[in-house]
A and B are shown apart, each in its own frame.
Chain A
Amino acid sequence: MDLPIVALLAQDGITNGAIYALLALALVLVFAVTRVIWVPSGEFLAYGTLTLAGLQLGKASGIAGLLAGMAVVAGAMEAWRSIGDGEARRLPARLALWTGLPLAIAAALYFIAPLQPPFFVQILLALTAVTALGPLLYRIAFQPVAEASVLVLLIVAVAVHFALVGLGLWFFGAEGSRTPPFTSASFELGGVTVSGQSVLVVATSIALIFALALFFNRTLYGRALRATAVNRVGARLAGISPGFAGTLTFTLGALMCAFCGVLIGPITTVYYDSGFLISLKGFVGAIFGGLVTYPAAAAGSLLVGVLESFSSFWASAFKEVIVFTLIIPVLLWLSLTTQHHEEDE
């Protein structure tokens, strides 16, 4: 093994690690605010890639159908709730938000896709569409059981994962997709070839993480999400509704996963069911931070990426085994260093 190979493997590892880091941060965020272990995050990633690949071919019927279907279900749930609570006067506004807006996005996608807009616009469309699925999914599957225990939420999350894989097969088909690279540029750095694609992925991830940090530290809504994560009762008493916090969190989480999908598209072929394995690697990264610490989750994900890339060189058949075995020493370490907290509520 010589330097160019090491450099190549490291580059691959860091590129993948940056994507895992985004996934890990989304997992930590969703868990901290809503206590949901977001098993279906990988499906959002896959949807991101598949939507962009579809747009490349001028098709968006899959994602548009999925969005429209979920919008109708969410709208029906809102209608049921509004009538049950005797708040019929609020129904039009709620329907506009939960059904009208996603339907408008679905329609826009459906009609713009055949026009073959530029690549950049396609990316924006794919991100918007997949992000819109986040709050809808929260509304349909998680908000009705928001006060349940972590275990119940986990079971719901697993069920949602399977449902979304099935829906993925139905709406996007069984074929795998790959999207073209953002750039084919590459340059020499100290005798090592660095691909522009890798640089772009890492830079985008860092920029997104930076933007999220700003959001959480500087804006009122970001702080409201942190407050909900720190103290749910305190947040309610300050007027921050858990439903609002959950909706916003799932929107952000979906955006981050959709971003991952866009970034990973040129790197690997994504099928409707590819998301799970990728998101598990983000999960291993998130475990480094005990599912609560953002920097540790990001660092852990980078390590996962690098470890994966080197083990695929040395023992490619055991690549996944090596990566997932990593979780055992990490869990041991965490169980020895952190005090056990009783689950409150």
Chain B
Amino acid sequence: MTTPLLEVESLSVSYGKVEAVHGVSIRAGEGRIVSVIGPNGAGKTTLLGAIMGLLPSRGTIRYLGEPLAGASVEERVGRGLVLVPEKRELFASMTVGDNLALGAFARRRDGEAATRRSLDEVYGRFPRLAERRDQLAGTLSGGERQMLALGRALMGRPKLLMLDEPSLGLAPLIVREIFSIIVGLRAAGVSILLIEQNARAALQVSDDGYVLETGELVLSGPSAELAADPKVAATYLGQGAGH
């Protein structure tokens, strides 16, 4: 087996004295969509925060075969590890075009032409952003904001794109659109680590899955198997779980 893109081993994260994630190990392979599902408060966002370097953690995180310890958030971004956070964290008082341009900040040494190419690519993938390029990010609808957050992340040419609840607060139609974009990204060679409460959609699009509950991994395996697991089906895909 080749080295996976991202290898997290017995990672623990604490807020003060309270440990929110206990010894979690996950792997994200090249060219795959890996999903982490679980209820609210299971520690999913905390896990991503630690991988991104936003939160201090114990355990090892290896990315492209090298340990990430000591690398700042910005250095991780520069190495192609990019997070689209749950709150999107856009630059609300700046234009869509400015937001996207800043997504390429870590790659500014690649030159103007490379940025231009990425920008055309993002606009090609999200025609709605192209229409709104001079509009302020704060005036966009929820779905457009998510697209802008995705677009800004793609401007950094991620090798591993981490998405935190990309469907949160969006209308079902837009959720479908976002998930089809995610599948399209995998086809374009971007590996994805997807955190979702919408377990049904997440397991449908992903190759591998992990179930996180109260900070601990309870199940893992190929997504199709997870979806067929009676426990997962009852807890996460049960009746009325059609949101």
Contacts and interface: CB of A to CB of B under 8 A. Distances in A.
Contacts, number: 72
Nearest to B76: A239
B70 A224 contact: no
Contacts of A236: 54, 73-74, 77
B94 A227 contact: yes
A35 B108 CA distance: 26
B90 A231 contact: yes
A230 B102 contact: no
B93 interface: yes
A238 B98 contact: no
A224 B107 CA distance: 13
A238 B156 contact: yes
A85 B72 CA distance: 11
Contacts of B156: 238-239
Interface residues of A, number: 20
A316 interface: no
Contacts of B73: 236-237, 241
Contacts of B232: none
Contacts of A233: 54, 85, 89
Interface in B86-106: 88-94, 98, 101-103, 105-106
B44 interface: no
B82 to A, nearest CB: 7
Interface string B152-191: 1100100000000000000000000000000000000000
A86 B67 CA distance: 13
Given A238-B103, A239-B77, A239-B106, A231 B70 contact: no
A156 interface: no
Interface string B95-131: 0001001110111100000000000000000000000
A87 interface: yes
Interface string A213-245: 000000010011011001101111111110010
Contact of A230 (B85, B94, B152): B94
Contacts of B194: none
B5 interface: no
- Residue among A224, A236, A237, A241 with the highest chain B CB neighbour number at 10 A: A237
Given A87-B70, A223-B101, A237-B73, 16 more contacts: A220-B108, A223-B102, A226-B93, A226-B98, A231-B89, A231-B91, A234-B90, A236-B54, A236-B77, A237-B89, A238-B103, A238-B106, A238-B152, A239-B106, A240-B74, A241-B74
